[in-house]
């Protein structure tokens, strides 16, 4: 998986998470060991975080996923509650 954007620092990630929460999206954390260009389904870390209200709530799940799967790609997803579709996808960690 390639990206041409620089890696976000911790504060930038926190701002992205806050924006996701402010937009009313449901955060979820996903991971994959070696995703290919046609891998549309990654493993989900637990269930979507319907009860997440703060950046710290989401960061705790991201950190737990990273600790359990340090050799995996990790991304943050934002789901629209009403349409039940994925609105945001943000790669957070590359091994």
* CATH number of the domain bearing residue 44: 3.30.190.10
Domain annotation covers residue 68? yes
Is residue 4 situated within a structural domain?
no
Tell me whether residue 76 is in a domain. yes
CA distances from 49 to 64, 71, 95 (A): 13, 23, 24
Whether 49 is covered by a domain: the verdict is yes
Q: What's the maximum distance between 2 C-alpha atoms anywhere in the chain? A: 34
Q: Domain containing 74: what range?
A: 10-85
Number of domains within the chain: 1
pLDDT value for 3:
58
Per-residue model confidence as pLDDT tens digits over 5-61: 778 888 999 999 999 999 999 999 999 998 877 877 888 998 999 999 999 999 999
CA-wise closest residue to 57 among 14, 90, 7? 14
Q: How far apart are CA 9 and CA 13, in angstroms?
A: 6
Q: Is residue 93 part of a domain?
A: no
Indicate whether 17 belongs to any domain: yes
Q: What is the pTM assigned to this prediction?
A: 0.85
């Amino acid at each position: 998986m390639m990206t041409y954007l620089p890696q976000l620092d911790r504060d930038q990630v926190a701002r992205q998470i806050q924006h996701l929460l402010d937009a009313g999206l449901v955060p979820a954390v996903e991971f994959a060991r070696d995703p290919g260009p046609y891998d549309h389904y990654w493993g989900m870390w637990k269930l979507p975080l319907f009860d997440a209200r703060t950046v710290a709530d989401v960061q705790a799940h991201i950190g737990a996923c990273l600790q359990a799967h340090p050799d995996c790609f990790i991304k943050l997803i934002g789901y629209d509650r009403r349409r039940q579709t994925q609105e945001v996808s943000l790669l957070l960690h590359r091994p």
